[in-house]
Amino acid sequence: MLRYTIRRFVFAVPMLLMISLIIFTILAFAPGDPAGALPLTIPAEVREAYRESLGLNDGFWGRWIKWVRAMFWYEPQHAIESIGNFCIGDCIDPGERIISFSSRSPAVDTIYERLPQTVWVLGLGLLFGIMIAIPIGIYSAYKQYSAFDNVGSFVSVVGWSMPVYWTGLILIFIFSVNLKWFPSFYDTTHDVQFTSWSSIWIQIKQLIMPVTVLSLFNAAAFSRFTRASVLDNLNQDYVRTARSKGLREFLVINRHVVRNSMIPVVTLIALSSAGIFSGAILTETVFRINGTGSLLITALGQADTPMLQTLTFFIAVMTVFFNIIADILYGLLDPRIRYD
């Protein structure tokens, strides 16, 4: 298992390099020039100097190698230096880091600032969704074709078919516009004081709608999946054996069936955790949350190539990472699966 884990992480590196090259190619061949937005009165040589200062004249491979070096070497070095508060050799020159075209500050720092909001909202949405879905899925499967199961299955297909940007808007209309219960946007500047109830309450109020929308959507997907997984196990021989040896039904379900059924569900949770960052784009647009998703939309509007490159690469890293985690969990939880 350890060898498998190491192998997967080692193989992830060339894969990530390839992904970064694909992203880079798309961005490099895209028309659009950050110097093109400058006023026309600016003389040609200043324009040229500006392009030079952004590093646009280095050619395709030159720029990619510079980016890779910054991403895989300078940025980790800077992260270690700033955590440990010391310098490795000569301290890293801030100019060597990946600098956003528009804000002129390091792209990684901006992403780091935006991450908490995304993780709070999308993470809670995933967490609550799973907490709702798993009991429903298990009970639906246990009482297959009962009224509960039929209603539950129908609701979950409906929930799964409604895009979050529509349900979100409807919720905003009901609870923000008409009832004025919750704010329609997320206030990032609110500093949560865990000692003060009113401060916590403000945070809950601004989280409640996006988290509800996401939980319902996730619950729909997860309850379908859990139900299918439990159904697969309920018909297995070992369940009959457990029952025939006189085990109580509660134990049959919880000790035997549920434990086995959770294996694919856990891997789906790992895979969905990677989807958080792509899903953030829509949710954050609807609820005006100042996270990584809205950062991507802003960077797109500004044709901020370094930011786009770094942010999409970050999302790709998350996807690859959680894919590996899912496979490893699968192997750890299911002794029948041995990768070595």
300 touching other proteins, by CB under 8 A: yes
108 or 252: CB nearest other proteins: 108
> Which residues does residue 99 pair with via DSSP β-bridges, in sequence order?
106
Burial class (CB in 10 A: 0-12, 13-18, 19+), 116: middle
Q: Which stretch binds other proteins (CB under 8 A): 12-20, 109-117, 194-202, 226-234?
A: 12-20
Kindly identify the residues of this chain, within the stretch 177-236, that bind other proteins according to CB under 8 A.
177
Q: Where are the alpha helices (DSSP H) in 144-194?
A: 147-161, 164-171
Take residue 14 and report the two structure tokens written for it.
Answer: 């060339």
Kindly identify the residues of this chain, within the stretch 58-117, that bind other proteins according to CB under 8 A.
none
32 touching other proteins, by CB under 8 A: yes
Minimal distance in Å, beta carbon 95 to other proteins?
Answer: 26
Question: Closest Cα to residue 50, out of 97, 95, 107, 101?
Answer: 101
37 touching other proteins, by CB under 8 A: no
Q: Residue 50's CB: how many other CB atoms inside 10 A?
A: 14
Q: Which residue has the tokens 């379908």?
A: 224
Take residue 44 and report the two structure tokens written for it.
Answer: 């040609």
CA distance 138 to 140: 5
Kindly identify the residues of this chain, within the stretch 134-163, that bind other proteins according to CB under 8 A.
154, 157-158, 160-163
Amino acid occupying residue 80: I
Site for other proteins (CB under 8 A): which residue of 269, 311, 325, 326? 311
Site for other proteins (CB under 8 A): which residue of 252, 319, 325, 326? 319
Amino acid occupying residue 286: V
Site for other proteins (CB under 8 A): which residue of 1, 6, 13, 26? 26
Contacting positions for other proteins (CB under 8 A): 15, 18-19, 22-23, 26-27, 30-32, 154, 157-158, 160-163, 165-166, 169-170, 172-173, 177, 277-278, 281-282, 285, 296-297, 300, 303, 308, 311-312, 315-316, 319-320, 323
